[in-house]
Amino acid sequence: MNLEAQLVEWLRANLPGGPLLEVPLGDDAAVLNPGTHSIVVTTDLLTEGVDFLLDQTSPQLVGHKALGVNLSDLAAMAARPTAAFVSLALPRTGGAGFSTLDLAIELYRGMLPLAHKHGVVIAGGDTNTWDGPLVVSITALGETTQRGPLTRTGAEVGDRLLVTGSLGGSILGRHLAVEPRVAEALLLHGQFTLHAGIDISDGLALDAWRLGEASGCGMVLDLDRIPVSVDAHELSQRDGRPAREHALADGEDFELLLAVPADAARQIVEQQPLDVPVTDIGEVIAERGLWQRSATGQKTPLQPQGWQHQAQA
């Protein structure tokens, strides 16, 4: 039996189904029956050597991350995750001490607990082998709630900028052990008025700038209010860069950055309705661009620095 047949056999035995799946894994295509909601679709491609190093991490963590980053994008849209499609290009020689088949199964073993936690069915995908590195591509689907999708375009002048959790230094582990803020986004979107949102994948500064540009506004960050993670402080001790710079630019935090009307923002910060802290870190202004405001109130331009994929010239 070839690898794909063996893997599909394992998948049939190990992937839970669900009411969404009208025709499950194993046919030419999946058939989903989403009911009456809009469908939200996102996809993400992870490549060994670029997004992870297989000799320094476990394939389970890679699987977890590959699904986690997709769920984080669904969270940013305030969509409830429903299904995922997993495509693998596996090195013919396997990797991380596993045979090719076991490498694939390990990837799925990393995805399954996260899929279960968020009610996601893995509904299909494709599996190939080749002479290149491991490539994992996941497409995730979600459905909007009654309040519709949360987009990047709705920020208004006077909105407050709220962020979940704390930022910076994700390279010490959180960049792989992604905790997508799905429940948090759904709760906030359901109980409060949110104007716009984005997940912080490439760094607070860059993603705040993107949110502003998409909404046609400017963004001011109050630097002394930014929640700096323990990891950012740890990294700062090692490399001498200020911890706050790590919080601004490291990326892969996978926290939510939200533009929220001032009244609702005040309520959220007072009530703290999530398991993670929510912090007010700034304001939406009319003047385009990204700005920083010091403790003394002085406003100056801030570089939208962060992680961006480089193309070879």
Q: Which residues bind Mg ion (CB under 5 A)?
A: 73, 199, 201
243: β partners: none
| Share in percent of the chain as helix, strand, coil (round to 5) | 35, 30, 40
* Cβ distance to Mg ion smaller for residue 124 or 251: 251
Sign of CA dihedral 217, 220, 225, 231: positive
- From the CB of 95, what's the least distance to Mg ion, in Å? 28
* Cβ distance to Mg ion smaller for residue 159 or 199: 199
- From the CB of 172, what's the least distance to Mg ion, in Å? 21
Residue 7: name the closest of 15, 132, 303 by CA: 15
* Cβ distance to Mg ion smaller for residue 73 or 143: 73
* Cβ distance to Mg ion smaller for residue 199 or 252: 199
Rounded CA separation 132/294 (Å)? 48
How many degrees, rounded to 5, is the angle at CA 30 between CA 24 and CA 36? 100
Residue 228: name the closest of 208, 258, 255 by CA: 255
* Cβ distance to Mg ion smaller for residue 91 or 251: 251
- From the CB of 48, what's the least distance to Mg ion, in Å? 22
Q: Are strands 135-144 and 160-164 parallel, antiparallel or unpaired?
A: unpaired
Length of the chain: 313
DSSP letter (8 states) at residue 19: T
- From the CB of 254, what's the least distance to Mg ion, in Å? 9
- From the CB of 308, what's the least distance to Mg ion, in Å? 13
